[in-house]
């Protein structure tokens, strides 16, 4: 692993696929101008709209999201990760169609390096009057995914609601994860109380960097996201914060920071329950 600059891209995506991709293109370019080597877009960056409308356009949304990541990674010669919808092989033959909510990582050549399909689906009744049933239109993934190379190090992949399940991150940490990515669209109601606490906790307990971009603002109807995307270092300090507007924030990912934190508090080697 080498020292590199990572960027979080905070967006206000809507049901307008074309406009979302234009917004993302501008923000990715801004991150590149700030010398980011790894750029991470939020969950549902290409489309955030009513589920029935998404399923009706699923093939186009999936194709365009993937195309965007591949083309912009290749164009800027960067690593580009984002939350997209992807389709199971039998999607067109399904009676009750469901997609995958996927964190996709593309490399500087435009190749797909890893895909993680979200395991924990957001089936929740929020006290603000909005109910979410992600499992009605999304299929859960099978298991943890770790990406590893000499430049970026070992990256554990996850998506939004996964952040509430520390066992996922501990499994990835046991496999060597040094950095976690969490493309998100965290709700406004829960975000104000839980978002920063959860993101920082995953960094502290695993002594790893966490790169957590998120959506912000009103997307459609009552659907609102909290914003406040962040990058957190292995000591739990917020080293980049996106606030409450679309934009880009960057921070340095440094292997010395991981080594220092793990030397100060050797919690990973002191563990007793390892399964």
DSSP state of 171: H
Q: What is the spatial distance between Cα 102 and Cα 187, in angstroms, rounded to a whole number?
A: 18
- Residue 159 in contact with residue 103, Cβ under 8 Å? yes
Q: Which residues on neighbouring strands pair with residue 82, listed in sequence order? A: 104
**Strands 123-125, 79-86: pairing kind:** unpaired
Answer yes or no: 118 catalytic: yes
Q: Enumerate the H helices of 175-270 as residue ranges.
A: 188-206, 255-264, 267-270
Longest dimension (CA), the chain: 54
Give the DSSP per-residue string, 221-243.
TTEEEE---EEE-TTS-EEEE-T
Catalytic residue among 66, 70, 106, 118: 118
Write the Ramachandran bin of 107: left for phi over 0, alpha for psi from -120 to 50, otherwise beta: beta
Name the catalytic one among 43, 64, 117, 178: 43
Annotated active-site residue in 66, 81, 160, 178 = 160
Cβ–Cβ < 8 Å for 181, 103: yes
Known catalytic membership, residue 160: yes
Would you name the residues annotated as active-site residues? 43, 118, 160
């Amino acid at each position: 692993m080498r020292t590199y600059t990572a960027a979080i891209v905070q967006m206000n995506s809507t049901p307008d696929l074309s406009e979302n991709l234009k917004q993302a293109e501008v923000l990715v370019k801004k991150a590149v101008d700030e010398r980011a080597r790894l750029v991470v877009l939020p969950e549902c960056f290409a489309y955030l709209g009513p589920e029935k409308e998404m399923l009706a356009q699923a093939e186009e949304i999936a194709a365009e999201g993937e195309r965007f990541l591949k083309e912009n990674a290749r164009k800027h010669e960067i690593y580009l990760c984002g939350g997209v919808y992807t389709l199971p092989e039998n999607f067109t033959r399904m009676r009750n169609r469901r997609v995958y909510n996927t964190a996709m990582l593309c490399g500087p050549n435009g190749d797909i390096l890893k895909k993680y399909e979200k395991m924990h689906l957001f089936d929740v009744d929020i006290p603000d009057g909005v109910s979410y049933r992600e499992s009605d239109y999304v299929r859960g993934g099978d298991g943890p995914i770790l990406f590893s190379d000499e430049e970026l190090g070992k990256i554990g992949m996850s998506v939004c609601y996964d952040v509430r399940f520390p066992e996922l991150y501990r499994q990835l940490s046991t496999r060597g994860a040094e950095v976690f990515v969490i493309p998100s669209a965290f709700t406004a109601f829960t975000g104000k109380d839980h978002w920063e606490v959860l993101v920082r906790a995953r960094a502290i307990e695993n002594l790893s960097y966490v790169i957590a971009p998120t959506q912000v603002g009103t997307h459609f109807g009552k659907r609102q996201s909290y914003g406040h995307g962040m990058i957190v270092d292995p000591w739990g300090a917020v080293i980049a914060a996106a606030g409450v507007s679309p934009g880009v924030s960057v921070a340095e990912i440094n292997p010395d920071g991981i080594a220092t934190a793990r030397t100060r508090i050797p919690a990973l080697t002191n563990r007793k329950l390892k399964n």
